[in-house]
Amino acid sequence: MLLLWILSLFLETVAGGEVCFDRLGCFSDNKPWAGTSERPLKGLPWDPSAINVRFLLYTNENPNNYQRITADSSVIRSSNFKTDRKTRFIIHGFIDKGEENWLADLCKALFQVESVNCICVDWRGGSRTLYSQASQNIQVVGAEVAYLINFLQSQLDYPPSSVHIIGHSLGSHAAGEAGRRTNGAIGRITGFWFYTVDQTVGHLDFFPNGGLQMPGCQKNILSQIVDIDGIWEGTRDFAACNHLRSYKYYIDSITNPKGFAGFSCDSYSSFSSNKCFPCATGECPQMGHYADKFPGKTKENFQKFYLNTGDKSNFSRWRYRIAVTLSGQKVTGHVLVSLFGNAGNTKQYEIYRGSLKPGNNHSNEIDSDVDVGDLQKVKFIWYNNVINITLPKVGASRITVTRSDGRVFDFCSQDTVREEVLLTLQPC
């Protein structure tokens, strides 16, 4: 009996197969759906009635309560769906559901910046099973989304180019399948998920914090479960914090259009070594909602970009390069600088620690939680925490600040100050 079971499992693993459903067409267990190192077991998706894909429409007119729509002209016309607006589908991933808070929160963030049809795709009937089966069921999810898009085009003359599909985790695979089944006519597809390797799959590929360990995901168990958004959200974060960060970054990107600049770089190591700044041609793509505003978004495939984020919402950060030319006496210590601009001020950031010699130049790149805008002044301070009866003085004869767009601001001073005394530098 055991031998027969092993044989049947082997045959299931290597044998190909196909299943067809009215309205949606046929589905196979060929690559990439099975037979790969990530999905070694063969399998086929469930019947659409079991997966039970539902389309939950939120709009600016009904931001808090969805309207369920189907591929039926009378249903769509009686809803708040508007043909003169873009439509953004949001597809959840493994074990999730379309009525989870984050999908509605994403819609609500969209309503702050645009008028839009926001459709949350619920496929919990097919997502709450073994991962190997859920990864097959997304074929049907993608086909259902494609069917609705094709219906909108044929019955309401709604162009697929006005559609944006956003997928998280397995939902991103469903988004890709919908794109394939509509022959590449969809205007935009955004997929976000967590991988343990540096994989590239799109025109623009972003790797926040290197793509592995996300800031804020190292909290202790109690503080992570007792989350500001509630016990359930905290428990989800504890179980899959890195994986869930992606949709939180996207939500924050909607209301921070310049807060997620990605820098073209060979690796995160090079980025962390300050070798990829500023933005090439003065403009970086923005990870998240505004990635499609980047002029070079489709010039080639698999463009890689790196950035850092905060450890909690608001996750956006603005990167600056700060170069300090020292003056005064030679001491050992560390130097900090804060920025002041027409849009805000930063905290103090350490630029260098070690031997402080007059005339030496030290630089560092910082990720500020404030966009200061156009810089107006900077403040310099130094410490060494060593008792020195000579009361040495150190200053900065010049501080140069470079924004990510390449614009440079220079500030000068002829003064020096004692330890723990602020020195303000004005434009040269």
Q: What is the pLDDT of residue 315?
A: 97
Q: Name the 3-class secondary structure at 111.
A: helix
Q: 18-192 — its CATH code?
A: 3.40.50.1820
- Per-residue pLDDT at 356: 96
User: Under a CB-based contact definition with an 8 Å cutoff, are residues 135 and 170 in contact?
Assistant: yes
| Residue closest to 335 by CA, chosen among 395, 272, 268 | 395
> Which pLDDT band holds residue 195 (cuts at 50, 70, 90)?
low
For residue 226, the model assigns a pLDDT of 39
**Count of alpha carbons within 13 Å of 100, Cβ hemisphere only?**
22
Range(s) within the chain of domains with CATH label 3.40.50.1820: 18-192
pLDDT of residue 109 exceeding 50: yes
Q: Which residue has the higher pLDDT, 2 or 302?
A: 302
| Tokens at 16, concatenated | 């190909």
- The residue among 40, 21, 37 whose CA lies nearest residue 29 is 40
Helices (H), 47-206: 48-51, 73-77, 101-111, 124-127, 131-156, 170-181
Q: Please say if the pLDDT value at position 354 is more than 70.
A: yes
pLDDT of 9 strictly over 50: no
Tell me what the mean pLDDT of segment 125-134 comes to: 94
Q: Is the pTM of this model over 0.85?
A: yes
User: What one-character DSSP code corresponds to residue 312?
Assistant: S
Task: Please state the rounded mean pLDDT for residues 213-222.
Answer: 72
Summarize pLDDT for 254-304 with one digit per residue, the tens: 999 999 999 999 999 999 999 999 998 888 999 999 999 999 888 888 999
Kindly report, as residue ranges, where domains of CATH 2.60.60.20 are found in the chain.
Answer: 319-427
Percent of the chain scoring above 90 in pLDDT: 76
Strands 163-168 and 86-91: parallel
Lowest mean pLDDT among 33-37, 41-45, 48-52, 262-266: 33-37
Q: Is the pLDDT of residue 232 over 50?
A: no
Stretch 118-127: mean pLDDT: 98
- Tell me what the pLDDT averaged over the chain comes to: 89
**Class level of CATH domain 319-427:** mainly beta
Angle among Cα 250, 268, 243 to the nearest 5 degrees reads 40
Residue 16: its pLDDT value, please?
57
- Quickly state the pLDDT bin for 75 (edges 50, 70, 90): very high
pLDDT bucket at 371, cuts 50 / 70 / 90: very high
Structure confidence at residue 320 as a pLDDT band (50, 70, 90): very high
At residue 389, the pLDDT reads 72
**Distance (Å, whole) CA 90 – CA 70:** 16
Confidence of residue 222 (pLDDT cuts 50, 70, 90): very low
